[in-house]
Structure 1
Amino acid sequence: MKLLQLTDIHLTKPGDTIAGREPNENFRKALHHATRHHPDAEAVVITGDLSDWGDREDYLRLKTEIAACPLPVHLCIGNHDERDIFLSVFPECADENGFVQSLVPLSEGTAILLDSWGANSHAGFYCAKRQAWLDAQLSRLSGPIYLFMHHNPVPTGVAPMDQIMLQDADAFGQIISRHKDKIRHLFHGHCHLPLTGSFHGIPFSAPRGTNHAGWPDFDNERNLSASDLPESYAVAFCGPHSVMVHMVEYGYEGQIRREGSPDYAEWDRLTMVR
């Protein structure tokens, strides 16, 4: 089973740029690249920061773009979004409590999309109502389960970024730890960094994002740091006993060289391309 994760698309008014890059064009490129190279994927999940300023026009444009996508697209919201405005365009994404949370049936298990948005903050939140909803879903579902959310529940070690991580990480962690035998992987965004690790024994990963890139500036204690690294998305190969996640830097414009056979007998000092 194959899943695609796009994150931090930050749609803006067409023509407006972020870090010199046009988010709408980069999102279209990412979606085209992902679906062209992975038409067998079961789902595309976009893990938040759909709009840069939470403008309704951005969500309307997003709705048009994903309507033309040949694969099913599912949405989380992030700190740059506005929940009420998003739901005015995507009302079907609301759960019974009005949060942007949903279950996505897969051929092998279920994806659960979580809402870590909080008003007037870049940090993430997961309140008691959301906690109860998640606990109920995890209790009744059989595995494997794949969690998708915007905010990182684990500190990155970069001080400014860690100020805006999931604030309810301890309570969230207690819930998922009770069900960790069912949870195969957790996917998040928010940091604009390629990240991997584990949380209560559950592996997680995050790609860089489809527009502007971050940088792990461990010496900077005040500001978030940016770089000009390529735009990316993630491809997850999910098997019965494993998950392999690739970060595909589709924004890379350099040469791709096919050099060297995996057959050891063909490794020759004189003829190998190096």
Structure 2
Amino acid sequence: MDVPHKALIFTDMHITRAGETIIGLDPLARFEEALAHALARHPDAAQILLLGDLTHTGAPEEYARLTSALRDCPLPVAATMGNHDLPKPFAAAFRNDVDEHGFAQAALDLGPLRILLLDTFDYDGKAKLGHDGWLCDLRLAWLEAELARAATEARDVVVACHHPPCPTGFWAMDAIGLANGDALLRRLRSSPQVKHLICGHIHRTIMASADGLPVSILKSTCHQMPMMLGGGTSADSVDEPGAYGILLSLNGAIVLHSEDFALSTGDISRYA
């Protein structure tokens, strides 16, 4: 069995200003616990991905608190935007993650696997509800070019972004998903090297299929969406364990685990 190539994925941290909480939870403390949990158990990981909603309001102080928490992280970090982020403060805090057009996206290699980190923030105000995502022609063209490059190099591809392009059954969250998700799915469907799509935004662990493409949605490190299928609002939240993702490229397979933290000590025991 080959040694797996591994990346750690965190999403929807919603870091607040100092002293502020969300439903009584401290998002920074939750993220720091998640990061420590992941690094202690997966020191062999090669990359960390942050899938947006890094902050709760996009305030510079919130980004400063997050970058301070990441300062001693031994792994390279790549971040993209979510609907709770703001472009200018994000770019100031994560300047290495912003391309020449101002988008937070990148092509990263995890062993033989190509990860395309795609920015779904609505820069143009095209979406109707303010928190939906939107992919402009420039970002779709970037995606097409990267998919063509991966095909030339015979690399399998995982695409990771904030907004899911498919419904999840949480109507209020689906209303603020990727507004032009069909445009994304058309391109992914036409590229056989694309094997998986990973998203955040919903604050639940969800496995889906969108036009035949496997889609995984990861929980927040902080607060979660209550299991209220078909009802509720996008602001409904519940204090359930946070989680992070563990992406593996292993013997030609692509595997994504969702790991809850803060449930117990995690010490390993054997039953008789």
TM-score (norm 1): 0.88
- Distance in 2 separating the partners of 1:30 and 1:130: 31
Report percent identity of matched pairs.
Answer: 33
Which of 185, 195, 211 aligns to 2:196? It is 185
SS at match of 2:31: helix
**1:25 alignment partner in structure 2:** 29
Is the Cα–Cα contact under 8 Å of residues 219 and 242 in structure 2 kept in the other structure? yes
**RCO greater where, 1 or 2, for CA within 8 Å and sep 6 or more?**
2
1:237 to 248, 259, 263: 248
What's the counterpart of residue 264 of structure 1? none
The AA in structure 2 aligned to 1:145 is V
CA separation in 1, counterparts of 2:6 and 2:98? 25
CA drift of 1:105 comes to 2.4
- Which position in structure 1 is the counterpart of 2:181? 169
1:65 CA drift (Å): 2.3
SS at match of 1:196: strand
Cα drift, residue 259 of structure 1 = 4.6
Paired residues of 1:59 and 1:86 also in contact (CA < 8 A): yes
- Partner Cα separation in structure 2 for residue 115 and residue 172 of structure 1: 12
Give the conservation status (yes or no) of the 8 Å contact 2:113–2:249.
no
Q: Specify the code of the residue in structure 2 equivalent to 1:172.
A: L
Within the candidate set 128, 133, 138, 1:124 is matched to 133
Map 1:89-168 → 2, pairs under 5 A:
89-119=93-123, 121-141=130-150, 142=153, 143-168=155-180
* Structure 1: unaligned runs, 5 residues or longer: 261-271
Work out whether 1:86 is the aligned partner of 2:86: no
Deviation at residue 188 of structure 1 after TM alignment: 0.8
Q: Aligned AA for 2:185?
A: G
Instruction: Say whether the 8 Å CA contact 1:127–1:168 is kept in structure 2.
Output: no
**Offset at residue 182 of structure 1 (A):** 1.2
Deviation digits for residues 76-108 of structure 1 (CA, Å, limit 9, x no counterpart): 110000012211222221223221111112222
The alignment's C-alpha RMSD in Å is 1.9
The equivalent residue for 1:268 is: none
Deviates more, 1:82-91 or 1:215-224: 215-224
The Cα of 1:226 is off from its aligned counterpart by 2.1
Among 18, 37, 43, the alignment partner of 2:47 is: 43
Contact in 2 for aligned 1:194/1:247 (Cα 8 Å)? yes
**Larger CA deviation: 23-32 vs 136-145:** 136-145
Structure 2 unmatched ranges of 5 or more: none
Q: Distance in 1 between matches of 2:31 and 2:183?
A: 34
Q: How many residues align?
A: 260
Task: Tell me if structure 1 keeps the 8 A contact 2:204–2:219.
Answer: yes
Q: Quick one: structure 1 residues 253 and 93, their matched pair in 2 at CA, closer, same or farther if it must change by over 3 Å? A: same
